[in-house]
Amino acid sequence: MTKYINISIVIPLLNEEESLPELTSWIDRICLKNNLLYEIIFIDDGSTDESWNVILGLEKEYSCIQAIRFRRNHGKSAALHTGFQQAIGKVVVTMDADLQDSPDEIPELVRRIHDERLDLISGWKKKRFDPISKTLPTKLFNWAARKMSGIDLHDFNCGLKAYKLDVVKNIEVQGEMHRYIPVLAKMSGYENIGEQVVQHQARKYGTTKFGLNRFINGMLDLITLSMVSRFQRRPMHFFGAWGIVMFLTSGAALIAMGMLKLYRLSQGMKPGLVADDPWFYIFLIAMVLGTQLFVTGLLAELMVRQSNKKVKYSISDSLNSKG
Angle at CA of residue 199, ends 194 and 200, nearest 5°: 110
- pLDDT digits 0-9 by tens, 32-52: 999 999 999 999 999 999 999
- pLDDT digits 0-9 by tens, 132-171: 666 677 788 788 888 877 888 988 888 999 999 999 999 8
Q: Does 216 share its domain with 258?
A: no
Say whether 23 sits in a helix, a strand or coil. Answer: helix
Rounded distance, CA 167 to CA 241, Å? 34
State the residue range of the domain holding 303.
235-308
Burial of 281 (0-12, 13-18, 19+ CB in 10 A): exposed
- Residue 291 within a domain: yes
Instruction: Tell me the average pLDDT across 256-284.
Output: 82
Q: Does 132 share its domain with 214?
A: yes
Q: Does 252 share its domain with 224?
A: no
Q: Does 213 share its domain with 263?
A: no
Q: Does 19 share its domain with 124?
A: yes
Q: How many domains does the chain have?
A: 2
Dihedral (CA of 115, 116, 117, 119) sign: negative
pLDDT of residue 240: 85
Q: Does 16 share its domain with 133?
A: yes
77: domain CATH number is 3.90.550.10
Rounded distance, CA 109 to CA 36, Å? 12
Q: Does 205 share its domain with 279?
A: no
Phi, psi of 98 (to 5 degrees): -95, 10
pLDDT higher than 50, residue 116: yes
Q: How confident is the model at residue 235 (pLDDT cuts 50, 70, 90)?
A: confident
Q: What is the pTM of this model?
A: 0.72
- pLDDT digits 0-9 by tens, 164-214: 999 999 988 887 788 889 988 988 889 999 999 998 777 667 666 555 566
Q: Please state, as a whole number, how many other Cβ atoms lie within 10 Å of the Cβ of residue 144.
A: 16
